[in-house]
Amino acid sequence: MSDSGAGEPTSIDGPELLERAAAWLAQDPDGETRAELRGIISAVESGDATATADLADRFDGRLAFGTAGLRGELGAGSNRMNRVLVSQAAAGLAAYILEKAGTDADAALAPMVVIGYDGRRNSDVFARDSAEIFAGAGLRVMLLPRMLPTPVLAFAVRAVGAAAGVMVTASHNPPNDNGYKVYLGGESDGSQIVAPADAEIAAHIQRVADTTAVGDLPRSLAIETAPESLIDAYVAATATVATAPPSAEGMRWVYTAMHGVGWETLSRVLDAAGYPAPTPVPAQLEPDGTFPTVAFPNPEEPGAMDLAFEAARDSEAELIIANDPDADRLAVAIPDPTAQSRWRRLSGNEIGLLLGWRAAKRASGAEGESLACSLVSSPALGAVAEHYQLDFHTTLTGFKWISRAPGMIYGYEEALGYLVNPGTVRDKDGISAAVAMLGMAAEARGEGRSVADLLTEFGETFGWFASDQVSIRVDDVSTIARIMSALRAEHPSKIAGTGVVRVDDLLTGVDSLPRGDVLRFWLDDGSRVIVRPSGTEPKLKAYLDVRADSQDAANERVAAVAKSVRKLFGKLS
Domain ranges of the chain: 1-61, 66-226, 227-462, 463-572
The answer to whether residues 324 and 299 touch, using CB atoms and an 8 Å cutoff, is: yes
Residue 93, pLDDT > 50, answer yes
pLDDT at 109: 80
Q: Domain 227-462: give its CATH architecture.
A: 3-Layer(aba) Sandwich (3.40)
In this prediction, residue 313 has a pLDDT band, given cuts at 50, 70 and 90, of very high
Specify the pTM: 0.92
> Which residues are within 8 A (CB) of 64 and not within 5 positions of it... i.e. 6 or more apart?
70, 202
- Give me the mean pLDDT over the 471-482 stretch: 89
Cis bond before residue 196 (omega within 30° of 0): yes
- What is the average pLDDT score of the chain? 94
- Residue 260: CB atoms within 10 A of its CB come to 33
User: Quick one: CATH architecture of 66-226?
Assistant: 3-Layer(aba) Sandwich (3.40)
Determine contact, residues 518/506, Cβ cutoff 8 Å.
yes
DSSP class of residue 88? Answer: H
Q: In what order do the strands lie in the sheet with 370-374?
A: 391-395, 370-374, 408-413, 417-419
Q: What is the pLDDT of residues 213-256, one digit of tens each?
A: 999 999 999 999 999 999 999 999 999 999 999 999 999 999 99
Q: How many residues does the chain have?
A: 573
> At 475, which amino acid appears?
D
Tell how strand 319-323 and strand 253-256 pair up.
Answer: parallel
Calpha distance 413→171 (Å, rounded)? 15
Write the DSSP string, 336-353.
-TTSTTSEEEPPHHHHHH
Cβ neighbors of 90 (< 8 A, separation 6 or more) are 129, 130, 133, 134, 166
- What is the structure's pLDDT at 59? 94
Q: What is the pLDDT of residues 20-56, one digit of tens each?
A: 999 999 999 999 999 999 999 999 999 999 999 999 9
Check pLDDT > 90 for residue 432: yes
CA 428 to each of CA 184, 231, 336, 400: distance values in angstroms, whole numbers, following the listed order: 15, 17, 28, 9
Please compute the mean of the pLDDT values over residues 378-382 and round it to a whole number: 96
State mean pLDDT over 429-436: 98
b/e map of 67-77 (b: 16 or more CB within 10 Å)?
bbbbbbbbbbb
Of residues 353, 565, 346, 554, the one with CA closest to residue 466: 554
pLDDT score at 107: 52
- pLDDT of 11 reads 57
Options 3.40.640.10, 3.40.50.720, 3.30.70.980, 3.30.310.50; CATH for 463-572 is 3.30.310.50
Secondary structure of residue 188 in the 3-state scheme? helix
Q: How confident is the model at residue 5 (pLDDT cuts 50, 70, 90)?
A: very low
Which of 459, 275, 246, 242 lies closest to 359 in space, CA to CA? Answer: 242
Nearest to 313 by CA among 252, 247, 248, 250: 252
Residues with Cβ within 8 Å of 330's Cβ and at least 6 positions away in sequence, in order, are 321, 322, 323, 351, 416, 418, 430, 433, 434, 437
Least confident of 77-81, 105-109, 487-491, 564-568: 105-109
Helix (H) or strand (E) holding 420: none
When pLDDT is cut at 50, 70 and 90, the band that residue 538 belongs to is confident
What is residue 366's predicted lDDT score, i.e. its pLDDT? 87
8 Å CB contact between 520 and 564? no
Residue 493 is a catalytic residue: no
Question: Are 66-226 and 227-462 the same fold in CATH?
Answer: yes
Out of 171, 191, 378, 467, the active site residue is: 171
- What pLDDT, on the 0 to 100 scale, is given for residue 514? 75
Instruction: Provide CB contacts within 8 A for 102, sequence distance 6+.
Output: none
Is residue 534 scored above 90 in pLDDT? no
- Write the DSSP assignment of 363-405 as a string of letters: HTT-TT-EEEEETTS-THHHHHHHHTT-EEEEESSSHHHHTTS
